[in-house]
Structure 1
Amino acid sequence: GSSGSSGYRATKLWNEVTTSFRAGMPLRKHRQHFKKYGNCFTAGEAVDWLYDLLRNNSNFGPEVTRQQTIQLLRKFLKNHVIEDIKGRWGSENVDDNNQLFRFPA
Structure 2
Amino acid sequence: MEHRIVGPGPYRATKLWNETVELFRARMPLRKHRCRFKSYEHCFTAAEAVDWLHELLRCSQNFGPEVTRKQTVQLLKKFLKNHVIEDIKGKWGQEDFEDNGHLY
TM over 0.5: yes
- Identical aligned pairs, as a percentage? 69
User: Which sections of structure 1, spanning at least 5 residues, go unmatched?
Assistant: none
Residue matched to 1:98:
101
CA shift in 2, pair 1:31/1:48, >3 Å:
same
Structure 1 segments, 4+ long, off by >2 Å, are none
User: Which sections of structure 2, spanning at least 5 residues, go unmatched?
Assistant: 1-7
Q: Work out whether 1:36 is the aligned partner of 2:39.
A: yes
Aligned to 1:79, which of 59, 78, 82? 82
**Whole-angstrom distance in 2 between the partners of 1:10 and 1:58:** 15
Contact 1:74 1:92 in 2 (8 A): no
Q: Give the aligned length.
A: 97
Matches within 5 A, 1:1-105: 5=10, 8-91=11-94, 93-101=96-104
Contact 1:47 1:69 in 2 (8 A): yes
CA-atom RMSD in angstroms? 1.3
* AA in 1 matched with 2:83: H
What is the TM-score normalised by the length of structure 1? 0.88
What is the TM-score normalised by the length of structure 2? 0.89
